[in-house]
Structure 1
Amino acid sequence: MTVVNACTRDGRGGSPTAVVIDDSTLGDDERQAIVRAAGTSHAAFIDTSSRGAPVVRFFTTAGELTNCGHGTVAAQAVQLQRSGASHHRGQQSTGGRTFATTAVRRPDGIEVWFDQGIIKLQDCASGESGSIVAALGLKPHDVTGDLRVASPGTPRLLVPVRDRRTLLSIQPNHDRLAADCRRLGYLGCFVYALTPTGTKATARMFAPAIGVDEDIVNANSTGCLAAHLLDTGHAGRIEVHQGDALGRPSSVCATAVRDRDGIRTRIGGSASTSGFGHRDGAWQFWRSSKAQ
């Protein structure tokens, strides 16, 4: 098992993410236990035995995720590291979808880009948004536009706030937010503040419904934001800074284009090579769980 700092900013910070070369004899409860033992919010499990694109599954302590953006960055970085190559163009299979990936060694780590696919967008019903805003600890005047539901496979809510100060001051009621998100079928809430240019933003991701009160970085939601911006007449590109509230500065880039099938996005982030290292305690936990 390897722990990677995914989606770093200038070679620092990022989200510690466990990456495991999967064992087909593991059960899902054991995979969740590995996440707990690793002490990370997420883990990527790579099945390298398939003849086609490697199958990658993602878990938190609460269960399996349909997909995970920063987990994909971590998984692709580990695969490039294992290969010893300087760059790689390949594919990954996750959640029943196979998509293109690129990984390149850079001076400050490994840069990864992947095709997120089609993003589905819809407006949030006004009766639902009030409850969510209150659970986030926000006042109606803190929100600067309509809330939108965005889904690259799993729906989440995009919540625009007026400025970075408002964003960093948020103190959600996690129990209430988790209950609302479960009731409405949302992964969580991606709260963001755009800069005046509209091509950069700061953001925080709250996902207590899946066992992550606050995510250090959520790459898939950055892709969702790029799709929303394109859909509302803005440039279809964005760089989002995340993790500052947790002392883990992180960065994700995304681009969006519209084709005949809808709005399609591509996500990029870097993994710090200094983050590579084995977690012996978690490895021993895995071995003991196998023995039992």
Structure 2
Amino acid sequence: MTKITEAYQLNAFGLTASGGNTAGIVLNAATLKDEEMLAIAKKLGFSETAFILPSKICDFKIRFFTPAREVDLCGHATIAAYSLLFQLGKLPAGIYSQELLAGLLEVRINERGQVFMEQSLPQFGPQFSPESIAPLLGLKAEDLSLSSLPIQVVSTGLSDIFVALPDRDLLESVQPDFEQIRAFNHQSNTVGFHVFAFDTTTGSTTATCRNFAPLYEINEEAATGSSCGALGCYLHRYWQPESHFEFEQGLNLGQPSKIIVDLESVEGEISKVIVSGFAGKPEILQGI
């Protein structure tokens, strides 16, 4: 395997020093083969590792791997990657283009090091009944029926199933059946479940979230930027046509996280999806 000399880890979206979601970042990945990238992602064991490559059509090309497979988009690894480049002095504040499997998307870094990533426009998929979903989460169908919001697939790059619960106590009581969830996601061609409640710890936060993606060897994730971007679009359609959302995640994991979502719209239709956040200090990885 090609020796990697520039590999780092850092937490994205953290509310505290121990909060956020850890991503691996490999800077000099141009010579790596697909199987080598997957092997590195497995070795690091983070929910996602980002591999930065040159692009002929954008400023950067980035590929994302979980320990199980490649994915089209990853929110927290994107925030971590551009924060790393900024902190290392490799990129000044500015606007950059990136080539992803999810498409050609824009990234902006401000003078404070906050990273703003564009996501794909939302696609709304099939809806599911409470009876079909509740057993996967260790809940009763009537628990899911307490919300008027649909159980639905939404994607801004990755397809997740969104499930609204009436309060944070019920959200915290969710006991996911990972084998059933894995099978359901495989059958429905989706990535995971993003379960949320409007009951939050702060007045500025829109919702508290939990994310389960065992099909990709991510049983539960502390911060899921791609899913929160889609959640903002879902709430814009079914709850309130807001343009700004703040989501908390990772509380039950002891990794409190904050994901900010801003939407632009034209005549009520979403025209741009932006997810933003900060990342912590990078730690260089040896022996990769």
- Report TM bin, short chain: 0.7 to 0.9
* TM-score, normalised relative to structure 2: 0.88
Match of 2:255 among 237, 244, 248: 248
Map Cα deviations across residues 54-88 of structure 1 (whole Å, 9 max, x no partner). 00000011110011111110111122123356523
Q: Secondary structure at the match of 1:80?
A: helix
Stretches of structure 2 that go unaligned for 5 or more consecutive residues are: 1-6
Stretches of structure 1 that go unaligned for 5 or more consecutive residues are: 287-292
CA distance in 2, matches of 1:232, 1:49: 38
Query: Are the structure 2 counterparts of residues 162 and 19 from structure 1 closer, same or farther at C-alpha, using a change threshold of 3 Å?
Result: same
User: Aligned ranges for residues 1-292 of structure 1 at < 5 Å?
Assistant: 1-10=7-16, 12-48=18-54, 50=56, 52-83=58-89, 87-95=93-101, 97-106=103-112, 110-126=113-129, 129-143=130-144, 144=147, 145-195=149-199, 200-234=206-240, 235-259=242-266, 262-263=269-270, 264-273=272-281, 276-280=282-286, 284=287, 286=288
CA distance in 2, matches of 1:68, 1:241: 17
Shift of residue 146, structure 1, vs aligned partner: 1.7
Query: Are the structure 2 counterparts of residues 135 and 125 from structure 1 closer, same or farther at C-alpha, using a change threshold of 3 Å?
Result: closer
Q: Is the 8 A contact 1:217 1:242 kept in 2?
A: yes
Which residue does the alignment assign to 2:4?
none
Q: Secondary structure at the match of 1:124?
A: strand
Q: Secondary structure at the match of 2:191?
A: coil
Q: Partner letter of residue 165 of structure 1? A: D
Q: Secondary structure at the match of 1:91?
A: strand
CA distance in 1, matches of 2:244, 2:268: 19
Query: Are the structure 2 counterparts of residues 67 and 27 from structure 1 closer, same or farther at C-alpha, using a change threshold of 3 Å?
Result: same
Aligned length: 275
Q: Is the 8 A contact 2:25 2:51 kept in 1?
A: yes
Shift of residue 49, structure 1, vs aligned partner: 6.1
Structure (1 or 2) with the greater helix fraction? 1
Identity %: 28
Query: Are the structure 2 counterparts of residues 224 and 186 from structure 1 closer, same or farther at C-alpha, using a change threshold of 3 Å?
Result: same
Q: Secondary structure at the match of 1:252?
A: strand
Shift of residue 98, structure 1, vs aligned partner: 1.6
Which residue does the alignment assign to 1:290?
none
Q: Is the 8 A contact 2:103 2:120 kept in 1?
A: no
Q: Secondary structure at the match of 1:83?
A: coil
Q: Is the 8 A contact 1:118 1:261 kept in 2?
A: no
Shift of residue 111, structure 1, vs aligned partner: 1.3
Q: Partner letter of residue 87 of structure 1? A: A
Q: Secondary structure at the match of 1:67?
A: coil
Q: Secondary structure at the match of 2:158?
A: coil
Alpha-carbon RMSD: 2.2
CA distance in 1, matches of 2:31, 2:107: 27
